[in-house]
């Protein structure tokens, strides 16, 4: 942490004089906030033993003074707190943000940025041989994404095979993930993932919504492309479709973020802690991908994955004709 704050002498000499009042505003001792985080880890983190261990390590970091002189604006301090918290408890869903906790309910309408990005539906196309391709860069709220997904899958209807590309997709709305997943499973199929709280009790959530568009044939070859930046919901899609023996996974190992966020908790100093309070496990394997990621069936680098997926499906077509 001290390396982040150090300023080389040549730059320090050239900097304008900063008043004591300005320093008081821009720098802060965040140990009270860290203590609040430790208490929440002990009482709410999805894995109680790990939460207690993380709290102990976080308090030790505070005693060493790692968070006693954090400078910058609110978001910069939140980023430092996130690094400190993840540093003692390796969970990519742990996050500290500046400001009040955000509502778990999305706005009624998407903002301009979401619309510019077409709600994460970046590419819908047909490759040679009738192979469909769809690239999803995020999982937008289901109320926003459902109509556009319906149009996308209508364009991909009658594909001889399909590639779903979620490389670089960090996650988002789990309901949207479920909707896409169930497009390739039988009608009424059981939920592929089951959620549990920190006491090991099943989470009582609403059943997954069924897609209103026609499902794809169950014998249609399907590939999911992943990489190290595929996280959370994108990993859930790859993990579940493979566990159900419905898809082949190509790319590189994913991020390893399997835990579930619901609500954030307010912290002293105007911060909010987003903390996983639930975990998923596959209905068949009773395992998850937390910390280890989803391992691809076929390893492929960023330049080769899409072409390799296309070649895989073409060979599958040729084999079916013989």
Name the one residue in this structure whose structure tokens are 């939140």: 78
**What's the confidence (pLDDT) of residue 106?**
78
How far, CA to CA in Å, does 149 sit from each of 8, 226, 227, 249? 52, 20, 22, 21
**What's the confidence (pLDDT) of residue 240?**
98
* Whether the model pTM is above 0.85: yes
Please calculate the CA angle 215-163-237 and round it to the nearest 5 degrees. 70
**What's the confidence (pLDDT) of residue 206?**
65
- Using CA atoms, how far apart are residues 205 and 20, in angstroms rounded to an integer? 52
* Tokens, residue 174: 């789990």
- Using CA atoms, how far apart are residues 18 and 15, in angstroms rounded to an integer? 8
* Strand spans (E) along 230-294: 248-251, 264-267, 271-274, 278-282
52 three-class SS: helix
Instruction: State pLDDT tens for residues 280-302.
Output: 999 999 999 999 999 999 999 99
**What's the confidence (pLDDT) of residue 227?**
98
pLDDT mean for each 10 residues of the chain (322 residues): 28 34 62 95 96 96 86 93 94 95 79 82 96 97 94 96 97 95 94 94 82 94 98 97 97 96 91 95 96 97 95 82 58
Instruction: State pLDDT tens for residues 16-40.
Output: 333 333 334 468 889 999 999 999 9
Instruction: State pLDDT tens for residues 194-241.
Output: 999 999 999 987 677 899 999 999 999 999 999 999 999 999 999 999
């Amino acid at each position: 942490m001290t390396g982040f704050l150090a300023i080389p002498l040549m730059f320090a000499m050239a900097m304008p004089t900063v008043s004591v009042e300005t320093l008081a505003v821009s720098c802060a001792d965040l140990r009270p906030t860290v203590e609040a985080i430790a208490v929440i880890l002990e009482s709410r983190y999805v894995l109680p033993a790990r939460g207690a261990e993380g709290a102990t390590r976080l308090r030790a970091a505070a005693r060493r003074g790692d968070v006693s002189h954090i400078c910058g604006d609110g978001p910069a301090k939140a980023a430092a707190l996130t690094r400190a918290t993840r540093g003692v408890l390796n969970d990519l869903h742990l996050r500290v943000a500046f400001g009040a906790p955000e509502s778990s309910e999305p706005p009624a309408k998407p903002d301009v940025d979401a619309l510019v990005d077409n709600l994460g539906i970046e590419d819908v196309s047909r490759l040679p041989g009738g192979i469909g391709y769809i690239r999803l860069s995020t999982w937008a709220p289901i109320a926003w994404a459902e109509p556009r997904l319906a149009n996308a899958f209508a364009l991909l209807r009658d594909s001889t095979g399909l590639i779903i590309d979620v490389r670089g997709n960090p996650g988002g709305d789990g309901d949207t993930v479920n909707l896409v997943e169930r497009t390739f499973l039988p009608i009424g199929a059981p939920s592929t993932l089951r959620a549990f709280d920190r006491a090991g009790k099943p989470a009582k959530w609403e059943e997954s919504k069924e897609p209103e568009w026609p499902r794809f044939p169950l014998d249609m070859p399907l590939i999911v492309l992943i990489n190290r930046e595929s996280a959370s919901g994108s990993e859930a899609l790859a993990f579940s479709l493979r566990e159900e023996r419905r898809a082949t996974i190509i790319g590189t190992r994913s991020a390893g973020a399997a835990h579930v966020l619901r609500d954030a908790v307010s912290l002293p100093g105007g911060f909010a802690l987003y903390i996983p309070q639930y975990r998923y496990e596959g209905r068949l394997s009773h395992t998850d991908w937390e910390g280890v990621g989803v391992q691809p069936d076929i390893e492929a680098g960023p330049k080769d994955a899409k072409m390799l997926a296309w070649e895989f499906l073409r060979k599958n077509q040729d084999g079916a004709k013989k």
